[in-house]
Structure 1
């Protein structure tokens, strides 16, 4: 990550941020594509996972060898799960044709802590995580601050992937209407306008966007051995370099023999959006009970927002980056691509 180190935020910006947070906290529950949200410990939590989230926060004990993939929804989570699992387990599944991804969804290979791991917990009936092979791989959409203390204080490693907010918003708008609650919903400009207003105010699952990104980015700047900060656009532009960084970060770097033997290229191809989308397991059935597996796979392109957002809509989202800039952050890869490619609008 080539972004500069965080700078002290101006007092005026601090006051504006404090006012924004206070304003959000006073708001009543909201709806995001029909799903209820409530403001909890600085982020918007889906009502349907409130109890699971609390159980995760209260009971999860991280081990030093754990690896946790953190992200906002629709920032490349499914892709990163497949890449991470394949990198860590590449010696066990050296035959790509027999790889588990052909028969098991990436979300089943790396469970989300606040969706699946603690889903059926009641009272002292907690999941037995001691039988999971090391290193244990988990995922979370939660912001950094409300994570369980054991994650922060242990030597476990966190991989964070961000995506530019324009593509993130458009991807979300295509995903949520595919959920069972919204069967038959047709995405149109009115629906996008309605949810754009909420998105820019930070009112969407696990938002606000800026708080989520900055929480993990600042921690990565303080301790790069603890948090690896990745950009979705960088993974698309330079997948081989990013996979080498990823493998080294989780403690299983690629050997020279593996690089010469095209092991990295095989993983990139196996886990590509195109490849995952064509696998039968991802064309049918459900892993999560509220949407079909195929809902997770669309285009995965950078700059696709320009096909859906009007200039005024795009400008509103771009304004969200001002707070990121005030904190010293900028998108290394996305801004570079945007400057070079006129199709970005």
Structure 2
């Protein structure tokens, strides 16, 4: 356990694979040359530009999807980024490289809204928030975690004790993350926020692409929107990922598993589903609507 000059608390998780900073869980492999609390300080101090776009989401909610769509809209071409999303994910990126990127930058992060760069508010940076129903997030995280040899014995039941879903006072868990974003949106009405669910995007991708284009202020023809929706279908994104330039310090993992709505019905027990239903009461009063099956 350690404190820095800004009183951030950082402590290792028992599995040795994660670190918790101010109650938010981060994978240890994200960084090689600084601690996570140092990285978070750099994020808060990051110089933002007025034409920046930042995608915010809880893990396994569709960040890769919306990031690729946004990049395509801003370039006006249904062509994939050669770099991986992780290279511009603030908590894992080399901040100096982010500072040297040409505009417009499409950044992304899983940190809660309270940890975003301070200048997001000052410069009214465009924010894209994508969220997903808790049961599919829970299921997707389970399979994501199990890819690591040290977690191969992880069970769905034991995942309830992990920081991402723990009932303990972790301000970085799924429910707190969404509540923090809801407060951020309500408290900062002058900041442009595009709020969209994974399920709505899955149900009508062309419409989501079109609306996102309007939000970004780009002229996207119906043909381009259709091309982008097709290029960013799950199967095409899965294939394109094999050609990405992934950060060398991050272990290879399978990001794209199924990308479906309602896959949780194949894995969660009735009791586990009902437990998450109870936990969802924590989001009472939030502006988000949730879809569990299509």
Superposition deviation, residue 208 in structure 1: 1.4
Cα distance per residue 1:219-271 (max 9 Å; x no partner): 334527522211111111121221122111112142xxx21xx2111100111
Contact 1:175 1:296 survives alignment (8 Å): yes
Pair 1:216–1:328, CA change in 2 (3 A): closer
Give, in whole Å, the separation in 1 of the partners of 2:244 and 2:40.
Answer: 32
Give, in whole Å, the separation in 2 of the partners of 1:117 and 1:39.
Answer: 19
Q: Which residue of 2 aligns with 1:107?
A: 85
Cα distance per residue 1:287-308 (max 9 Å; x no partner): 3533325x11110000101111
Note the aligned Cα RMSD (angstroms). 3.0
Superposition deviation, residue 329 in structure 1: 3.5
Give, in whole Å, the separation in 2 of the partners of 1:244 and 1:38.
Answer: 38
Q: Which residue of 2 aligns with 1:132?
A: 101
Which of 124, 140, 143 is residue 155 of structure 1 equivalent to? 124
Q: Secondary structure in 2 aligned to 1:116?
A: coil
Q: Which residue of 1 aligns with 2:224?
A: 263
Runs of 4+ in 1 over 6 A off after TM superposition: 25-28, 203-206
Q: Secondary structure in 2 aligned to 1:158?
A: strand
Q: Which residue of 2 aligns with 1:9?
A: none
Superposition deviation, residue 73 in structure 1: 1.1
Q: Which residue of 2 aligns with 1:211?
A: 176
TM-score by length of 2: 0.83
Superposition deviation, residue 82 in structure 1: 1.1
Give, in whole Å, the separation in 1 of the partners of 2:64 and 2:103.
Answer: 21
TM-score by length of 1: 0.71
Q: Secondary structure in 1 aligned to 2:161?
A: helix
Q: Which has the larger radius of gyration?
A: 1
Which of 277, 287, 290 is residue 247 of structure 2 equivalent to? 287
Give, in whole Å, the separation in 1 of the partners of 2:167 and 2:248.
Answer: 25
Give, in whole Å, the separation in 2 of the partners of 1:204 and 1:298.
Answer: 30
Give, in whole Å, the separation in 1 of the partners of 2:174 and 2:143.
Answer: 18
Give, in whole Å, the separation in 1 of the partners of 2:144 and 2:45.
Answer: 31
Superposition deviation, residue 148 in structure 1: 2.3
The answer to whether 1:169 aligns with 2:138 is: yes
The residue correspondences of 1:72-111 to structure 2 (distance < 5 A) are 72-90=58-76, 93=77, 96=78, 99-101=79-81, 104-107=82-85, 111=88
Q: Secondary structure in 1 aligned to 2:54?
A: strand
Q: Secondary structure in 2 aligned to 1:75?
A: coil
Gaps of 5+ in 1: 1-24, 119-125
Give, in whole Å, the separation in 2 of the partners of 1:223 and 1:177.
Answer: 40
Superposition deviation, residue 312 in structure 1: 0.8
Superposition deviation, residue 283 in structure 1: 7.1
Give, in whole Å, the separation in 2 of the partners of 1:28 and 1:111.
Answer: 25
Superposition deviation, residue 51 in structure 1: 4.3
Contact 1:217 1:229 survives alignment (8 Å): no
The answer to whether 1:191 aligns with 2:173 is: no
Q: Secondary structure in 1 aligned to 2:274?
A: helix
Q: Which residue of 1 aligns with 2:289?
A: 331
Give, in whole Å, the separation in 1 of the partners of 2:245 and 2:108.
Answer: 21
Pair 1:83–1:206, CA change in 2 (3 A): farther
Contact 2:11 2:19 survives alignment (8 Å): no
Which of 271, 284, 300 is residue 259 of structure 2 equivalent to? 300
Q: Considering Cα pairs closer than 8 Å and 6+ residues apart, tell me whether 1 or 2 has the greater RCO.
A: 1
Superposition deviation, residue 140 in structure 1: 1.0
Pair 1:218–1:117, CA change in 2 (3 A): same
Contact 1:56 1:114 survives alignment (8 Å): no
Aligned residues: 280
Give, in whole Å, the separation in 2 of the partners of 1:311 and 1:220.
Answer: 34
Cα distance per residue 1:39-70 (max 9 Å; x no partner): 41x52344555145234235311111110011
